[in-house]
Amino acid sequence: MRRYLVKLLKDAQLIPDLFGPQAHPQLISKAKAIVGLFASQDALDAVEVDLMYNATKDPYLAVPTFELLMAVTPQFRGPTVKYLWSKVVQTPLIEFTAHHLQLVVRLARNGASSVDNSLDLLWRIVISSDVKQEMRTQAMDEFITILKGAKNKRTQYLQTFFRQIVEGQQVVACLYLARKILEDFPTESDLKDYPLMDMRGMQLVYLTQLTLKNYL
């Protein structure tokens, strides 16, 4: 029944009408269930994803379109997620807004590769000289938000940040992110019982704590 309904709506050019030249923000706001139905049936093609993502560039349509994308992306299947990621990554960093960052965080829920893509993109924003400081700060906060849901990657990033601190690269950002990561670690007395921390990880925590004391 759902596939039949999707076919009818697709034949009627529903998505092109919703996001075409006559697009209206109120109609987009009310289309989450319909677009979600398309997504759940893996029925969105590249042209339709293009139309939706391009609508985010229109100030008149941006907010409802971002809200729609954030609502339906958890239902996106592999190829659709991959294609949407290609659109996000192609967006010049200087054009990123708070809504772009929120979409990146939401996309991180679509599997391990999406987590890696999200963290990589947010880090690029953090270190970009083309991006305003306000956006870079928000990108750091969103980075931590994603990392809290991917705790197995915390030691990996602590190691990266510590190495960059020692090398004098992106020291301020690395210190901020390392401190935020450490705030979510167990207390020192509990480290020996923490299953995700091996001896190398424990040494890394101690070294990073020492470095933070020297810099902050």
Cα–Cα distance, 211 to 58 (Å, whole number): 45
How confident is the prediction for the chain on average, in pLDDT? 83
CB neighbour list of residue 45: distance below 8 Å, 6 or more residues apart: none
pLDDT in tens, 170-188: 888 988 898 888 777 655 5
The CA-CA-CA angle for residues 139, 145, 147, to 5°, reads 105
- Asked if 15 and 34 touch (Cβ cutoff 8 Å), the reply is no
Token reading at 56? 């985010």
CA dist 175 and 5 (Å) reads 52
Q: Are 103 and 66 in contact (CB under 8 A)?
A: yes
In whole angstroms, give the CA distance from residue 210 to residue 198.
19
Per domain, the residue ranges of the chain are: 1-90, 94-149, 153-216
pLDDT tens readout for residues 58-106: 999 999 999 999 999 888 877 888 899 999 999 999 999 999 999 999 9
Residue with tokens 């998505």: 15
More confident residue, 203 or 8: 8
Confidence class for position 112, pLDDT limits 50, 70, 90 = low
**Number of residues that this document lists for the chain:** 216
Residue 190 binned pLDDT confidence (cut-offs 50, 70, 90): very low
pLDDT tier at 211, thresholds 50, 70, 90: low
Place of tokens 């139309």: 51
